Structure 1
Amino acid sequence: MKSKKTDFGPRDIISGLPEALICHILSFLPIEDAALTSVLSKKWRYLFAYRPNLIFDGLLHIQHRAVGNTEKELILSRFMAFVDRVLELQESCAINKFSLLCGHGVRPYFVTDSILKVLRRGVTELDLHVSLDEGRLPSEVFESKSLVSLRIESGNVYGIDVQGVSLPKLKTLFLHRVMLGQAEDCFHKLTSGCHVLEELFLLRVYSDFWNRSLSSNSLKRLTLYCLDSDQNPDHVSFDTPNLVYFNYSDNIARKYPKVNFASLVEATIYLAMTRDQYAHANYGNLVANATDFFRGICNVQILYLSASTLEVLTFCCKPVPTFNKLVHLTVETHTVGWESLPTLLNNCPNLETLVFEGLHHKYTIKCGDVDGCLCKFSGEVPICLSSSPVKFLKVQRFGENGIENQIELVKHFLETMPRLEQLTVHYVASIDDDVNKVSSQLKDFARVASPNCEIQVVSDHLN
């Protein structure tokens, strides 16, 4: 836009805008770039700092070039001084978001002091990516009356002494590699102090390893990753009646006193046995009992099961519960037997879509038994296939580790599954000729049980 000319020369239209609007415009720039406007005039000197969202990246000038220790210390010193200056200029202004990214070499007291300053000023969104050489983050981050969103990711924070949790407005909590307390059940403490929490992400969060329980009527989305040791927790409980999405990775617990997922729609489950449990796994006796856990999620509609979870269903769950509401099931089949699949599929009476994440069939002694596998080694068709309600069958990563056995399995499904309407195969081949050959071969198979089944072969290399 051209400036309007007057008798005194061109007029600065931007500077004539209200200061609040200028600050809003500057808020779309990285704060380091916005700070460059401070040299334009006295009016512009401090405007860059009067912004509701403060995002500071201490690694920005280090990670893209090789620097020595001396230069790194100088960069970090300037960075800390810049953050302190902006917070000083902003002392009377409200802060919506404060984001701080800094690695080794930043003084712990600087991080703590910055956090406490923005908490006192009623920050609503706090985002911390910090790696401290020593010291702890302040426990006040869990005692804020203003926070709506809290995210802490750490490389080596030694811990946060959580005496109490009081976050009455918090709706989203994300913690990654953080230690909370020493002995108490930190998961229970967190949820009991967040009464309107809707989204919770706990990834490698450490406290009392042996017990974990989550209880919340407001929680709608939960991601919990605890697979960091080769031990089984004692008690794991979930009382989350309004949860709709659940992503869970853990070793099998010895007990599941309460599992309440009354509203669950979608779940991704990575349950695993310990090495000792693997060593003692057999088809006669359970090496652990995860039945109560699976019974607690049986209302789910969309379910993803890892390969290790299929093994848990085989050796740690009898009987497998019925999933009456399940319409979409994805199973990962990498390097495991399929012994649990027949029972699982038999107990999904309304299943419409079945997805294999890889089609890696591992032969076991159960393959020779009817309803002991999905393959045709027994010479008879498993009931779970001959009476299957599945309409849409998908195979992801088809062709990994050879295709002969996988083609035979697909042919077996086409010959036995009576309600198939569509088979989609995602082929990983990198040569067009191979893709076209497999596509022709699959489409030439007789659809014995489902004569009208449409077959699609999808590949990045197939025109």
Structure 2
Amino acid sequence: MISSKKMDRISNLPEALISHILSFLPTEESALTSVLSKKWRYLFAYRPNLDFDGSFSLKCGHGVEPDCVTPWILNVLERGVSDLDLHVTLAGLCLPSKMFMSKSLERLRIESENVIGIDMEDVFLPKLKTLHINKVMLGKGGDFFEKVTSGCHVLEELILIHVYSDFWIRSVSSKPLKRLILSCIDCDKNPHSVSFDTPNVVYLEYSDFVAGKYPKVKFDSLVEASVDLAMTSEQHEHASYEHSVGDVTDFLMGIRSVQTLFASANTLEVLTFCCDHIPVFHNMFSLTIQTCKSGWESLPALLKKCPNLETLVFDGLSHTYTIKCEDVDGCLCKFSGEVPTCLSSSPVKVLQITGFGEAGVETETELIKYFLETMPQLEQLIIYYDTLFDDDVIELSSELKRFPTKASPSCEIQVIFGDPSS
């Protein structure tokens, strides 16, 4: 009873006085008082002194007053925080532009479930090495990419996912940048111009619609890339084999030093209808192809331009018949009755199939047999079969091992249960 009365006396004190009392406690301990009652929930945040170990993480959801968030952020910025991690689910919140004006920040991460706004003006983050932004509206920020890279002199990792603004000229220019993830594929519209002057980037993930032009694409050090280039609905309407509806050749030229490439199904379609010619990828030793919804018309030309390819991965074997299947070098299937030259001269040693069976076991099995009898350098075939029955895996393995492979008689065949990514 005595303890309860003492607690009541403290709780009945003015909030300003309680915040002053909390200032004598370590920040972590004062934050624990937020569970005492509704009154105590946010009192610790109003204490006059906040001590951090250089990092600050804030998750804002239902029950948090939007007007409280900005003072919290400004407070930690003024105190020289080096690592700021914000996860916001509040609707209608506009974060302060001063987050992009800090001499101490080394890592900044802003994520939201609903799109939030930032009235960004200038960018000056001289120590920032990592910037991660997801679902943010930048208002009338102009060329945000150029602002960020010019204001972050030591930036090594840049991740921009679903970042909205009124810009259609995108320019990423940074010498220290090593890792770039850029996803701009929400709005069904072609950007006017996209440029990359990033000679030291070793890892790239890029999702976007085909740009009107690519004035500069410089990825001299690229090791691994995942490319998801897509056509707009308007381009789909006008797409034909006779006339291109766009041209990504300059972009491909800029990434031709890549060693490991993942190309989405959208990208295969773009290579068919929006590409003047495919450059030679001399350094590429591993290529992953995602197959779904579109034909394989661009695959023969792409494989021919990878003279040193060792590993070929099919993410699914969803083959769609098109008129090009009737041409010997118009597809990878055997509708033409002749072996495509990209298969008969293929340097590929390892063929990997993931998601086997999703497009039909019988059809996919015939395609795999076709690869076995036409690809001369195959040393290993690995199939990931995600089935509910172990007998399916054993049966497929036995069937393929009995198959009389002509081109690759010594190929080792493995059928593995499950998915390699799980």
TM-score of the two chains, using structure 2 as the length reference: 0.89
Structure 1 gap ranges (5+): 1-43, 62-73
- In structure 1, distance between residues paired with 2:358 and 2:244: 32
Amino acid at match of 1:83: A
Structure 2 gap ranges (5+): 1-21
Matched, 1:267 2:267: no
Match of 2:339 in 1: 381
Q: Deviations 1:30-66 (Å, cap 9, x if unpaired)?
A: xxxxxxxxxxxxxx99554269xx999x9xx9xxxxx
Match of 1:328 in 2: 286
TM-superposed CA distance for 1:144, in Å, is 0.3
Aligned residue for 2:295, secondary structure, equals coil
Match of 2:41 in 1: 79
TM-superposed CA distance for 1:155, in Å, is 3.4
Q: 2:95 aligns with which of 121, 137, 158?
A: 137
Q: How does 1:195-210 map to 2 (within 5 A)?
A: 195-210=153-168
Match of 1:49 in 2: 27
Structure-2 change in CA distance of 1:140 and 1:183 (3 Å): closer
Matched, 1:280 2:238: yes
Aligned residue for 1:377, secondary structure, equals coil
Q: How does 1:423-462 map to 2 (within 5 A)?
A: 423-460=381-418
Match of 2:12 in 1: none
- In structure 1, distance between residues paired with 2:108 and 2:284: 34
- In structure 2, distance between residues paired with 1:134 and 1:375: 52
TM-superposed CA distance for 1:108, in Å, is 2.0
Match of 2:328 in 1: 370
Matched, 1:111 2:89: no
Query: Percent identity at matched positions?
Result: 59
Q: How does 1:101-250 map to 2 (within 5 A)?
A: 101-156=59-114, 158-250=116-208
Match of 1:18 in 2: none
Amino acid at match of 1:400: E
- In structure 1, distance between residues paired with 2:25 and 2:406: 74
TM-superposed CA distance for 1:80, in Å, is 2.3
Aligned residue for 1:79, secondary structure, equals coil
Match of 2:250 in 1: 292
- In structure 1, distance between residues paired with 2:340 and 2:56: 58
RMSD of aligned Cα (Å): 2.1
Q: 1:256 aligns with which of 201, 214, 222?
A: 214
Amino acid at match of 2:108: L
Which range is displaced more, 176-185 or 437-446?
Answer: 176-185
Amino acid at match of 2:153: H
Contact 1:55 1:99 survives alignment (8 Å): no
- In structure 1, distance between residues paired with 2:303 and 2:137: 40
- In structure 1, distance between residues paired with 2:403 and 2:347: 21
Match of 2:305 in 1: 347
Q: 2:315 aligns with which of 344, 357, 361?
A: 357
Amino acid at match of 1:366: K
* Aligned residue pair count: 396
TM-superposed CA distance for 1:143, in Å, is 0.5
TM-superposed CA distance for 1:360, in Å, is 0.8
TM-superposed CA distance for 1:443, in Å, is 1.0
Structure-2 change in CA distance of 1:423 and 1:119 (3 Å): same
Aligned residue for 1:287, secondary structure, equals coil
